[in-house]
Structure 1
Amino acid sequence: MTELMTVTRPLAWTRIRRILLSRLVLALVAIAPLAACQTRPAQLAQDDDAAWYIGAKPDKPFDIPLVDTGRLDPKYRRQQVSYNGPEQPGTILVDIDKRQLMLVQADGTAMQYGVGVGKAGFSWKGEARVGRKGVWPDWSPTATMVSLNPDLPRTRKGGLDNPLGARALYLYQGNRDILFRIHGTNEPWSIGEQMSSGCVRMLNEDIADLYERVPVGTRVLVKRSGKYRA
């Protein structure tokens, strides 16, 4: 499991945590108007956003906020599970209905992660590949998003307030970017929910883990209603 950044002095840790969590709360407020891969229904807004965070993992150029996974349903926590399906090791499998992503391993197991998925009418299914990868990636709205909301910013630099989070895997079919991503999120309570604009979102610490495990070219299968294809 991901290791926490160690802080030996309780007072120093309290001060660092207060600064970190204050930054996160301000960042969450700042991104509220954005509508790309990130939608925050009022009923899911938390009374205490900062309570979700317990520390940080050193990363560049920003540390990765770590979530209290005890707040998640156990089935959405990162874990190694048995796998006896037909897909080859190294394949990413996303089950929209179960809100889970698996990376098939070579030893009859899979790494399983909880995910948030697209709201009704936005979820995509099919086969793709990881066409490129990004670390603290910049965000840009699609043409459709701009047509629906012309006031959207045309780009947003990577960071704690970015809807794509700490990492992103960009899905391609052939040489075409299909505009769906597997990416981090700064809304950890959305894991297990159906509320994005179609992308697959993961805890920042989980997408960072997956990012290190998969190369560009990795096969991705996204299943909905028990099928990868219509």
Structure 2
Amino acid sequence: MYKSSTRSFPVYDSLRQAIIEQALKPGVKLPEDSIGETFGVSRTTVRNALVRLDAEGLVDLQPNRGASVAVPTIEEAYDIFEMRQCLEREVMQRLCKMDTKPIIKSLKAHLAQERKYLDVDTTRSIRLAGEFHILLAELTGSKILANYVNEIVSRCSLILARFAQAHSAKCGLDEHTEIIAAIEAGDAERAVSHMHHHLHGVQDRALLNPDEEGKNDISEILARYVTPST
């Protein structure tokens, strides 16, 4: 999901996924030579990917200092969650005005995947939880809205990676179920209310507990994201 269509950006896709899945933590250095060797590409290709991720707020690219995974501040965290509330409120209102049958079919299929990997594959569970919200935005048919939600959900992944306290993903799964039920009923007010409650829950679970894990070798981490050549 959300892979770039350009063959020249496999590094971008893989780095982005590793950041969203929290395999690459905020502050981790992203050396161009190591990444290039891992993916078998030039430093120019790596630099292009890093520039793109920098524009999305996922990477901090500094002249003469190289790149690292972006480290959101607490002020940025609150601002991002506030903006996310505005965007996802609009998503709820639009979806409830549409024919909800095909929407609910897609959402329930995604929810089944979330349930399948709950407490089984933490990495995939994290990604699927975020992709639920991006799918909601995509189903509105608005590319602009989907792009904004995609970017802000990705940046929330950084916040969760930096500040999150341990919690069960079941909370989010139950809340997603409630959101789907409200959309299926065409009840915009209830859908907005459930989404508002859900995002506040995500925010409360995310803030504030900086995590200082041991550093892993970036080549070892990214090796899991290399797509074999066909």
> TM-score w.r.t. structure 1 length?
0.27
Higher relative contact order (CA 8 A, sep 6+): 2
Considering fraction of residues, name the structure with more helix: 2
Greater share of strand residues, 1 or 2? Answer: 1
In the superposition, the TM-score normalised over structure 2's length comes to 0.27
